[in-house]
Amino acid sequence: MPKFAANLTMLFTELPFLERFAAAREAGFTAVEYLFPYDFPKEELARQLRANGLKQVLHNLPAGDWAGGERGIACHPGREAEFREGVARAIAYAHALDCPQLNCLAGKLPAGVTREQAQATLVANLRFAAAELKKAGLRLLVEPINTFDIPGFFLTRSDQALALIEEVGSDALLLQYDIYHAQRMEGELAGTLGKHLARIGHIQLADNPGRNEPGTGEINYGFLFGHLDALGWKGFIGCEYKPKTTTLEGLGWLKKLGSAAPNPAYELGL
């Protein structure tokens, strides 16, 4: 059975953010991820991780004016200096939190910018970020996002992201494969995982429709978890879903799928 990380941006939202670390640990998680750490001092986040025996597996680079609707600036011409400042800030947080990888959100295609211009900007920014992260002992991820949830997002499919990774040409850059986004844009989940697993740095999950917990929609997660085991996936899978009711009530899928796994005595994150 795969190892799971609680996404604290989307789970345990019944609690203030800093209280979600303890809640995740109490629920059995040994690892966490979240979108952004930048609203909190590095030292406080590190203290929460240590106090609760948690490993942080992911956060994102700064993504522009999130509250104003921006979803990344990596494909935005004219904002390269802001992007580079964000890379440095993200690396500082990653080192303080012992987080091994950072995700870059490409962003929406800006008004008045051609796809060719956005692609060239994205490639240049990713080359810079990948080089900086490699020097820092970290790896960079890039994630396709579905256009139902974020209309206008520039990077939308696995094949597009893999071609982008080839163009960037850095071994420090890998694909972040979000099963939910992939299901909405392309399907072929098992085949894509099997064909490209060596180029995938992190996996996330949610069911569809609704982006709720596994078992609430059309995706056969029991099959996919067994498939990932057979493929030899050793990384964490981030639980980036919206609980249908409360977080704790929605965690029943872990016991249900775990009891059906080849090792019914598995424990979360072990």
Q: What is the pLDDT of residues 54-95, one digit of tens each?
A: 999 999 999 999 999 999 999 999 999 999 999 999 999 999
Any idea which architecture 3-259 has in CATH?
Alpha-Beta Barrel (3.20)
Q: What is the pLDDT of residue 154?
A: 98
**Coil, helix or strand at residue 201:** strand
Average pLDDT across the chain, whole number: 94
Instruction: Specify the long-range contacts of residues 61-68, CB closer than 8 Å, at least 24 apart.
Output: 61/86, 61/87, 61/90, 61/102, 61/103, 61/104, 61/105, 61/129, 62/36, 62/38, 62/86, 62/89, 62/90, 63/36, 63/105, 63/107, 64/107, 66/36
Whole-number pLDDT of residue 260:
40
pLDDT (tens digit, 9 = 90+) per residue, 96-155? 999 999 999 999 999 999 999 999 999 999 999 999 999 999 999 999 999 999 999 999
**pLDDT in the model for residue 153:** 98
* Residue ranges per structural domain of the chain: 3-259
Sign of CA dihedral 26, 215, 234, 87: negative
Residue for token pair 């929460």? 48
- Which listed residue (116, 143, 188, 267) is catalytic? 143
Q: Which residue has the tokens 């399907």?
A: 187
pLDDT digits (tens, 9 = 90+) for 209-241: 999 999 999 999 999 999 999 999 999 999 999
- For residue 240, indicate whether it is catalytic: yes
- Using DSSP's 3-state secondary structure scheme, residue 237 falls into strand
DSSP annotation string for 154-171 = S---HHHHHHHHHHHT-T
Burial class from Cβ neighbours inside 10 Å (0-12, 13-18, 19+) for residue 64 reads buried
Residue 266 pLDDT greater than 90, yes or no = no
Confirm whether 218 is a catalytic residue.
Answer: no
Question: Could you say which of 33, 166, 186, 240 is catalytic?
Answer: 240
Of the pLDDT bands very low, low, confident and very high (cuts 50, 70, 90), residue 257 is: confident
- Number of Cβ within 10 Å of residue 134's Cβ equals 15
